[in-house]
Chains A and B, each alone.
Chain A
Amino acid sequence: MRFPLYSSPHGIQENHVTRLMAQVLLALVPGIIASWWFFGWGVLIQIAIATLTAVGAEIAIIRMRKRDALPVIKDLSAVVTAVLFALAIPPFLPWWMTVAGVLFGIIIVKQLYGGLGYNPFNPAMAAYVFLLISFPVEMTRWNAPLELVTADPGLLASLSIIFTSVMPEGLSWDAITMATPLDEMRTRLEMGEMIYEIREIPGWGDFGGIGREQVAFWFMVGGIFMLWRKVISWHIPLSMIAAMFILSSATWLAEPDVNPVPVFHIIGGGFMLGAFFIATDPVSAATTKKGQIIYGALIGILIYIIRNWGGYPDAVAFAVLLMNMAAPTIDYYTQPKVYGQAEEEDEQKKVTSDEN
């Protein structure tokens, strides 16, 4: 009787990339439903456009590389990228911009570097920044939560807006869009208004805008699900939130009239989505535990700096991309102490300190 030869260990490998990615998608579901509830059909239409484009682009590239496309598509990473990207863009963005963004993300940022596992930058965030710089007006035209608008565009009207850029009868951009709370906060602070005045704006909500705060909450729930399923570890999200919380608390305690409450920063914009779903992208993040804490904290700090002194009201994408560049270096300097090497290192340190 002949038996096949394999290298040890022999047994079942209990994890699977596809399952991991599927759990990420599952964790996004509550946030997606909340986004749809508060911001309408545009959200789902963008997800559909982005997903189809991403999968199509990936198949095309893999075919060009003369490899089998099916296993690559089955890992669901392109779908995750597409959904994250779609959740980051304004729901009424013209369809071709979404397509352009996804093509950039999948083809240039991901596949040209070698595909999943080899991309130094987060494809969804790189695609977002690509669009933000190319189409600043469209990319900052956010629709207001449905509670605050008189007319709900509905599915058909949303399709029409996205695919033809033509406003249906009785609707106008002014009627369905409004500045995001982060944007509003920034402009009004610059105009010299006080926090308590700004908070009088309709649609402010409890912390950072009706709709947006609920969506952020449901993303956080998804994030906790991923922590529970061990899809992600706590290091990046917690350090990111903690860094942001400490910085914004300090400034808020010092000058509460011109600095929003810390929760505003954490709930606002793409922070929650970023903390749990984007900064935790393992391919482009730091991989050591210590490194992940530094990586997450620096993203939090960068977001705060850019929001306060930079040119953009939200800053998750820029902060993540900047830290993507730093990740390999962080990893190199944060290698854990290997078993049995403690004394050796101490001795080395002693030697160097003696030399000094």
Chain B
Amino acid sequence: MSSQDDLDKLLTKLHNFHGGLHLPEHKQESLQHPIADAGLPQQLVIPLRQHIGRAAKATVKAGDKVLKGERIAEAEGAISAPVHAPTSGTVKAIEVHAIPHPAALPDTCIVIEPDGNDQWTEKPAAILDYLSASPDILLQRIHNSGIVGMGGAAFPSHAKLLYGLKRNLHTLIINGAECEPYITCDDILMQERADDIVTGIEIILHLLGLERCLIGIEDNKPDAIAAMQQAIKVTSLKRTRVIEIPTIYPSGGEKQLIQLMTGEEVPSDGLPADIGMVCHNVGTMAAVRDAVLDGRPLISRIVTISGEGISEPRNLHALIGTPISHLIQAAGGYTDKARQLVYGGPMMGISLPDDQVPLTKGGNCVLALSENEAPDPEKARACIRCGKCADVCPVKLLPQQLYWYSHAKDFDKVQDYNLFDCIECGCCTHVCPSNIQLVHYFRFAKTEIWKQEEEKRKADHARRRHEARTARLERIAAERKSRLRKKKEDLEQKKPAAGKADAGDPKKAAIEAAMKRVADKKKAAQEKQQ
């Protein structure tokens, strides 16, 4: 895997992943305008948990004045990311607030009232000579800048890079597929900021000590592809290639993208780093560049606002923590058709109960869908085992069997059928002729199994504690016993000595002598009477 030919072969020979869907793209709607600034909302709500892993810990308190870019929460543990103030202002509160959450559960957020000055804190110095900087310094900068995966999953980037550094890597995979319908934030970012993305790639390649980089972009984005190719040309990157991949959902799934471009499969219970690859989103690359060259932490992102329920669908550059309602106003507000609000893409996004939730680092899209675009799901009918779900599953699962066992709550069998390999892409639900919400069933089964495992873990813990306690009590009892025994033994060891002394005890001898005397007297008296 080291020759130039090998890399070029990849350009001509693409691989396939199983199944997938050709979905109506709906990309043009939001591409009619360049990126616009969403402006400063009246209030910013910044969740402490915007990433996979542990929530950040607030380092400010209500009433504090903060400057733009100032750290307001620090990372907790290895998989976490700090959070920064998106603008200058006053911390109004640290409170539980509605956030984009699959179950609409609220979480702790820092609420900031902007002062309107947008005044920067003192930024860390730019690392201009990044190609000779040590990986540690770059990694530290990425970590301190609060960068997480911006494709939607929001995994802390430094944790991913750190894990990669411990593995034997050979390729950096850059995800510019953007396979979900409607979303165009990566597309427009590649068109407008290709140079910055490529600089980010240079930084990451240097950090990881890699040369080979594959950038996967779906072939429905010719402008983005051209821009990226142009940007690579003017750099010294010799082994970086843009690969035009077919427009098949979910080509942008990390595992599917790797399979498409390299033909390799990430092990079921592993990570791409286990097969020598590490995958990052194009938006993350731009954020890395901003952090390293501008000292700018991750405090804003590009987000697509689209759907028939939006007056002027477009891409906005918005501060993290901006309420969705503000974003929708910035996109012309709702139309009469708005019926459903979705955070993320239509296939994997989460349903929002209202627009009073903030934009997070992983938020790539907000959709207001019409009745036409997302009708109420029909009442589910019985599964007829037609297998259309299995035909489209990119993981080659048998959703009809998973459904059967999830429905029957047979959680052992459902794991036999590899439930935990499901990526919840939604292809199966989309094609189901019985209108069964398959993914919903699978999420339910996963949650139930986690719950059972948690309960089992707790029970095991309790059992271990009980066993430890019993063992401790037994040990104490045994110790006491042995102490007693020892005491006894010690006593018994003294006893034989005491016994010998008995033999010459004068008291005893005196008593015996006296008894003998009495007996003799009695005998003599009896003899006299006779």
Q: Mark B338-373, 1 if CB is under 8 A from A, else 0.
A: 111110101111111111000000000001010001
In the complex, the answer to whether B381 meets A17 with C-beta atoms within 8 Å is yes
Please measure, in the bound complex, the distance between the C-alpha atom of A8 and the C-alpha atom of B391, giving whole angstroms: 19
Does any Cβ of B come within 8 Å of A183's Cβ? no
In the complex, the answer to whether A335 meets B349 with C-beta atoms within 8 Å is no
Chain A residue total in the interface (Cβ 8 A): 45
In the complex, the answer to whether B374 meets A7 with C-beta atoms within 8 Å is no
Q: Assuming the A-B contacts A2-B353, A3-B339, are A12 and B374 also in contact, with contact meaning beta carbons closer than 8 angstroms in the complex?
A: yes
| Interfacial chain B residues near A283, Cβ < 8 Å | 384-385
Please measure, in the bound complex, the distance between the C-alpha atom of A18 and the C-alpha atom of B339, giving whole angstroms: 27
Within 8 A of A (CB), among B386-434: 386-388, 390-391, 394-398, 400-401, 417-418, 421, 424, 426, 429-434
In the complex, the answer to whether B270 meets A339 with C-beta atoms within 8 Å is no
In the complex, the answer to whether B386 meets A282 with C-beta atoms within 8 Å is yes
In the complex, the answer to whether A1 meets B354 with C-beta atoms within 8 Å is yes
Please measure, in the bound complex, the distance between the C-alpha atom of A337 and the C-alpha atom of B418, giving whole angstroms: 10
Please measure, in the bound complex, the distance between the C-alpha atom of A77 and the C-alpha atom of B386, giving whole angstroms: 13
In the complex, the answer to whether B351 meets A338 with C-beta atoms within 8 Å is no
Within 8 A of B (CB), among A3-20: 3-17, 19-20
In the complex, the answer to whether B347 meets A331 with C-beta atoms within 8 Å is no
Within 8 A of B (CB), among A74-114: 75, 77, 114
| Interfacial chain A residues near B505, Cβ < 8 Å | none
In the complex, the answer to whether B384 meets A282 with C-beta atoms within 8 Å is yes
Does any Cβ of A come within 8 Å of B191's Cβ? no
In the complex, the answer to whether A3 meets B351 with C-beta atoms within 8 Å is yes
- Please report whether the interface of chain A is mostly helix, strand, loop or mixed according to DSSP: loop
| Interfacial chain B residues near A343, Cβ < 8 Å | 267
Please measure, in the bound complex, the distance between the C-alpha atom of A321 and the C-alpha atom of B385, giving whole angstroms: 17
Chain B residue nearest to A235 (CB atoms) is B387
In the complex, the answer to whether B355 meets A1 with C-beta atoms within 8 Å is yes
With both chains docked as a complex, state the minimum distance between the C-beta of A41 and any C-beta of chain B, in angstroms.
33
Please measure, in the bound complex, the distance between the C-alpha atom of A338 and the C-alpha atom of B401, giving whole angstroms: 14
| Interfacial chain A residues near B61, Cβ < 8 Å | none
Q: Which of B117-125, B194-202, B436-444 contacts A (4 or more CB under 8 A)?
A: B436-444
With both chains docked as a complex, state the minimum distance between the C-beta of A128 and any C-beta of chain B, in angstroms.
21
With both chains docked as a complex, state the minimum distance between the C-beta of B326 and any C-beta of chain A, in angstroms.
14
| Interfacial chain B residues near A239, Cβ < 8 Å | none
| Interfacial chain A residues near B397, Cβ < 8 Å | 338
With both chains docked as a complex, state the minimum distance between the C-beta of A118 and any C-beta of chain B, in angstroms.
7
In the complex, the answer to whether B348 meets A8 with C-beta atoms within 8 Å is yes
In the complex, the answer to whether B382 meets A115 with C-beta atoms within 8 Å is yes
Q: Assuming the A-B contacts A13-B431, A13-B432, are A7 and B346 also in contact, with contact meaning beta carbons closer than 8 angstroms in the complex?
A: no
In the complex, the answer to whether A340 meets B255 with C-beta atoms within 8 Å is yes
In the complex, the answer to whether B430 meets A9 with C-beta atoms within 8 Å is yes
Q: Mark B255-270, 1 if CB is under 8 A from A, else 0.
A: 1000100000111111
With both chains docked as a complex, state the minimum distance between the C-beta of B23 and any C-beta of chain A, in angstroms.
8
| Interfacial chain B residues near A64, Cβ < 8 Å | none
- Please report whether the interface of chain B is mostly helix, strand, loop or mixed according to DSSP: loop
In the complex, the answer to whether B433 meets A15 with C-beta atoms within 8 Å is yes
In the complex, the answer to whether A13 meets B268 with C-beta atoms within 8 Å is no
In the complex, the answer to whether A10 meets B342 with C-beta atoms within 8 Å is yes
Within 8 A of B (CB), among A322-356: 331, 335-344
With both chains docked as a complex, state the minimum distance between the C-beta of A327 and any C-beta of chain B, in angstroms.
9
Tell which of B347, B353, B435 touches A9, judged by Cβ atoms closer than 8 Å: B347
With both chains docked as a complex, state the minimum distance between the C-beta of B394 and any C-beta of chain A, in angstroms.
7
Within 8 A of A (CB), among B4-39: 17-18, 23
With both chains docked as a complex, state the minimum distance between the C-beta of A15 and any C-beta of chain B, in angstroms.
4
Chain A residue nearest to B374 (CB atoms) is A10
Counting chain B CB atoms within 10 Å of each CB, the highest count among A4, A10, A17, A285 belongs to A10
Please measure, in the bound complex, the distance between the C-alpha atom of A6 and the C-alpha atom of B378, giving whole angstroms: 12
Does any Cβ of A come within 8 Å of B376's Cβ? yes
In the complex, the answer to whether B266 meets A10 with C-beta atoms within 8 Å is no
Please measure, in the bound complex, the distance between the C-alpha atom of A91 and the C-alpha atom of B431, giving whole angstroms: 38
When A and B form their complex, what is the total count of cross-chain residue pairs whose Cβ atoms lie within 8 Å? 172
Does any Cβ of B come within 8 Å of A158's Cβ? no
| Interfacial chain A residues near B421, Cβ < 8 Å | 338-341
Chain B residue nearest to A12 (CB atoms) is B375
Tell which of A4, A282, A341 touches B351, judged by Cβ atoms closer than 8 Å: A4
With both chains docked as a complex, state the minimum distance between the C-beta of B107 and any C-beta of chain A, in angstroms.
17
Chain A residue nearest to B349 (CB atoms) is A8
With both chains docked as a complex, state the minimum distance between the C-beta of A96 and any C-beta of chain B, in angstroms.
30
Please measure, in the bound complex, the distance between the C-alpha atom of A12 and the C-alpha atom of B341, giving whole angstroms: 15
With both chains docked as a complex, state the minimum distance between the C-beta of A172 and any C-beta of chain B, in angstroms.
45
Does any Cβ of A come within 8 Å of B155's Cβ? no
Q: Assuming the A-B contacts A287-B398, A335-B417, A339-B394, are A11 and B388 also in contact, with contact meaning beta carbons closer than 8 angstroms in the complex?
A: no
With both chains docked as a complex, state the minimum distance between the C-beta of A77 and any C-beta of chain B, in angstroms.
8
In the complex, the answer to whether A287 meets B400 with C-beta atoms within 8 Å is yes
Please measure, in the bound complex, the distance between the C-alpha atom of A287 and the C-alpha atom of B378, giving whole angstroms: 24
Q: Assuming the A-B contacts A338-B421, A339-B265, are A10 and B270 also in contact, with contact meaning beta carbons closer than 8 angstroms in the complex?
A: no
In the complex, the answer to whether A288 meets B390 with C-beta atoms within 8 Å is yes
Does any Cβ of B come within 8 Å of A117's Cβ? yes
In the complex, the answer to whether A8 meets B347 with C-beta atoms within 8 Å is yes
Does any Cβ of B come within 8 Å of A71's Cβ? yes
Please measure, in the bound complex, the distance between the C-alpha atom of A36 and the C-alpha atom of B259, giving whole angstroms: 53
Q: Assuming the A-B contacts A1-B354, A5-B351, A9-B347, are A118 and B382 also in contact, with contact meaning beta carbons closer than 8 angstroms in the complex?
A: yes
Q: Assuming the A-B contacts A13-B377, A15-B433, are A6 and B390 also in contact, with contact meaning beta carbons closer than 8 angstroms in the complex?
A: no
With both chains docked as a complex, state the minimum distance between the C-beta of A278 and any C-beta of chain B, in angstroms.
15
Tell which of B400, B418, B439 touches A8, judged by Cβ atoms closer than 8 Å: B439
In the complex, the answer to whether A340 meets B384 with C-beta atoms within 8 Å is no
Please measure, in the bound complex, the distance between the C-alpha atom of A2 and the C-alpha atom of B379, giving whole angstroms: 22
With both chains docked as a complex, state the minimum distance between the C-beta of B273 and any C-beta of chain A, in angstroms.
14
Does any Cβ of B come within 8 Å of A233's Cβ? yes
Does any Cβ of B come within 8 Å of A62's Cβ? no
Closest 3 CB pairs of A and B: A9-B426, A117-B382, A15-B433
Please name 19 further chain A to chain B contacts, defined as beta carbons within 8 Å, in addition to the given A20-B384, A20-B386, A342-B265, sorted by A numbering: A5-B104, A6-B377, A7-B351, A8-B350, A9-B429, A10-B347, A10-B367, A11-B181, A12-B374, A13-B378, A13-B429, A17-B434, A19-B433, A283-B384, A287-B387, A287-B400, A288-B390, A336-B398, A338-B421
Chain A residues in contact with chain B, CB under 8 A? 1-17, 19-20, 71, 75, 77, 114-118, 233, 282-283, 285, 287-289, 331, 335-344
19 contacts between A and B (CB under 8 A): A1-B355, A4-B339, A8-B344, A8-B349, A8-B426, A8-B439, A11-B346, A13-B377, A13-B378, A15-B433, A20-B386, A233-B387, A282-B386, A287-B398, A287-B401, A336-B390, A339-B18, A339-B259, A340-B268
